[in-house]
A = this chain, B = another copy of it.
Amino acid sequence: MVLDFSARLREVQADKQSRLCVGLDPDPQRLPPALLDAQPLADAVIAFNAAIIEATAPLACAFKLNLAFYEALAAEGWRALEATIRHIPEDVLVLADGKRGDIGNSARFYAEALFDTLDVDACTVAPYMGRDAVAPFLTYEGKAAFVLARTSNPGAADFQEHISDGDPLYVHVARRVAEWDDEEVGTAGLVVGATDLDGLRQLRATCPTLPFLIPGVGAQGGDPEPVVAAAATDDGLVLVNSSRSILYASSGPDYAEAAAREADRLRTQLQGGSA
């Protein structure tokens, strides 16, 4: 029997005492110069990620890889992606953050790339094209697809706040995602930005049991404690992602230790402790 994604996430979060997801988004311009000088770029990315993983895995319930940073390296990027995933210990979940969304026939191939070829535990998906663009990601037992609801960027207001039938678009999206979660074998979750606490509260009230992936803490300005207070409940798990504030905590040779310090600070704050 395959364990449901939410059940696995609950176990990992309890074992690690962590809601922290570390985002592995390697920007070549911000990698430690010593790594870049020594080898080709893809190898520098692999070495950087491996050091960050080793330093922060004990503190994280998940790693999230934003595919944009790997795709920019073309075929070499896929090699770096696969090598990075191999470095992640068994007891930490792996999320592929690609925000894919296409007609059913194409979405099946994206799902295959992520869940069969890369064998990650969860991914992110865009909702604009509706049910048949998301459903292929929800046909994998034990896996999860987090659907964009309320994002953390400035452009989030452009369409996500459009009101129809009394509710903003992101609430309509959340309601449909909850239905799809019921209808399919995989777990559906929501991506909800840390930068809008009212949106977090509203979406948790709308979807009491869906897991939330929450980006926007750290470099994007969201604070950890109020985010957890707004969205984490006994039934409603949250995964709080930080990428840049951990990866680039130091640009010197101590980058991995600095990343671990920042990850531990954030982990503690997310558990309701002070740091």
Query: A residues bordering B, Cβ < 8 Å?
Result: 25, 27, 66, 68-69, 71-79, 82, 99-104, 106-110, 112-113, 117-118, 126-134, 148, 151-160, 162-165, 169, 172-173, 176, 220
User: Across the interface, which residues of B come within 8 angstroms of A78, CB to CB?
Assistant: 74-75, 77-78
Q: Which residues of B lie under 8 Å from residue A220 when comparing CB positions?
A: 103
Q: Is the CB of B172 within 8 A of A107?
A: no
Interchain CB contact (< 8 A) of A68 among B102, B134, B152, B158: B102
The answer on a CB contact under 8 Å between B162 and A117 is no
Cβ–Cβ contact B69 & A106, under 8 A: yes
CA distance A100 to B102 in the complex (A): 10
Let me know if B173 and A103 touch, CB within 8 A: no
From A124, which residue of chain B is reached at the shortest CB distance?
B102
Contact at A160–B66, with CB atoms within 8 Å?
A: no
B117/A72 in contact, CB under 8 A? yes
Q: CB-CB < 8 A to A173: which residues of B?
A: 159
Q: What is the CA–CA distance of A155 and B173 in the complex, to the nearest angstrom?
A: 12
Q: Is the CB of A130 within 8 A of B156?
A: yes
Q: Are B155 and A132 in contact (CB under 8 A)?
A: yes
Central interface residue in A82, A109, A154, by most chain B CB within 10 Å: A109
A45 to B79, CA, bound (A): 20
Given A68-B107, A130-B158, 8 more contacts at CB 8 Å? Answer: A68-B102, A103-B153, A104-B153, A128-B128, A129-B148, A129-B156, A130-B156, A132-B153
Q: Please name all residues of chain B whose beta carbon is closer than 8 Å to the beta carbon of A156 when the two chains form the complex.
A: 129-130
Residues on the B chain within 8 Å of A101, using CB: 99, 101, 126
